[in-house]
Structure 1
Amino acid sequence: MTDTHMAGPAAGFEAADIGGIFATHNGPLYARWHDEHLQLGFRVGPQQVNPGQQCHGGMLSTFVDILLSTAAQYQTDIPRVFLPTISLQMDFIAGAPLGSWVQGQADILRVTRNLVFSQALVHADGVLAMRASGVFRRGPLLPDSSGDQLLQLPGMPVRPRAGP
């Protein structure tokens, strides 16, 4: 018998090496391309819950920070740049219990010369769990990484490479 927290990702999601070592340590994260949007998700494991057996707010905050900034890299035509968080607002609407599938999708609201504005909804097993918005500063170009090369999801447009 398989524990629910050991179940794999939702249909169509693939392991995604994004968010650096911090995200890898706190994940794993999964991704898929759906209706011109990058969707990210993770299965709530025992290492991500609070004493109430719900996904810890810090994990959900980390997840939405990665979701909002990563979506900007793939849903806009900006080059791959470092996007440090300027502002992050979150409303926790419902819990995400141990074993639940947490999935989010972001919309990029506006891109200026220096900033990116985005918002996201996050669901846990189909129930709205979180609403978030963020502002990110457009920083220096980032070199391509192995994670970028792996994030070639079915249906996703091919991104131009930053350099050699």
Structure 2
Amino acid sequence: MSASSLAAAGDIPAGFVALELDSGFNTAFGLIYRHETEQKLGFRMGPHHLNPIGVLHGGAMATFADTLVLAIIRGIPIRQPHTPTISITVDYVAAAPAGSWIEADTTLVKATRTMLFVQALITADGEIVSRTSGIYRYYGQ
């Protein structure tokens, strides 16, 4: 299925399953999906993600970028599910049109005893719209 038909159909790409983020701000943001086998996250843009000119709001992009660690921690032994954000950087490269499938291809750069260093390229229907990196506090075993 092409990126444009995905956007038109409003589908979630194969291999993605909804995360259970059912508290406070996460509920207001909407569903975020994690790929079952790859270190990817994604969401389908809705009207509540748009800024006044009809593209993805920068705050929505930053909020999504702050969830990158959720694509990484699946394979890491962790004794506490909360991984507080120490630092996050978001470089806005291009606008994401309304209705786009937003996807982060996430990489674990380094894991220390107490920190996870993560980076990603974020795309809208396959076109790069952001580059981001984050540092998260890690509570290992």
Matched residue of 1:105: which SS? strand
1:104 aligns with 2:104: yes
The 3 A distance-change label for structure 1 pair 104 and 38 is same
Q: CA deviation at 1:119?
A: 0.5
Q: Which runs of 5+ in 1 are unaligned?
A: 142-164
Corresponding residue of 1:146: none
RMSD: 2.2
Gaps in structure 2 of 5+ consecutive residues: 1-6
Q: What is the TM-score when the length of structure 1 is the normalising length?
A: 0.73
Q: Which residue of 2 aligns with 1:120?
A: 120
Larger Rg: 1
- Decide whether aligned partners of structure 1 residues 77 and 29 sit closer, same or farther in structure 2, where only a CA change above 3 A counts: same
Contact 1:19-1:66 at 8 Å conserved across structures: no
Aligned to 2:4: none
Note the alpha carbon deviations across 1:49-76, whole angstroms, 9 max, x for none: 0011011011111111112x21231143
Distance in 2 between residues matched to 1:137 and 1:105, nearest whole Å: 21
Say if 2:93 and 2:128, in contact at 8 Å, map to a contact too: yes
Question: Quick check: 1:6–1:45 contact (8 Å CA) kept in 2?
Answer: no
Cα separation, partners in 2 of 1:121 and 1:79, compared to 1, 3 Å: farther
Query: Displacement of 1:33 after TM fit?
Result: 2.5
Identity of aligned residues (%): 36
Supply the distance in 2 between the matched residues of 1:19 and 1:131 (Cα, whole angstroms): 27
Aligned equivalent of 2:3:
none
Q: Which residue of 2 aligns with 1:52?
A: 53
Q: Which residue of 1 aligns with 2:18?
A: 15
Q: Which amino acid aligns with 2:45?
A: V
> Counterpart amino acid of 2:109?
L
What secondary structure sits across from 1:66 in the alignment?
Answer: coil
Q: Aligned partners of 1:132, 1:19: CA distance in 2, in Å?
A: 24
In structure 1, distance between residues paired with 2:134 and 2:22: 16
Alignment of 1:56-95 (within 5 A): 56-67=57-68, 69-95=69-95
What secondary structure sits across from 2:103 in the alignment? strand
Moved over 6 A (4+): none
Deviation per residue, 1:3-37 (Å, 9 max, x gap): x5771312332222137442232111122124xx3
5 Å-filtered alignment, 1:24-39, equals 24-34=27-37, 37-39=38-40
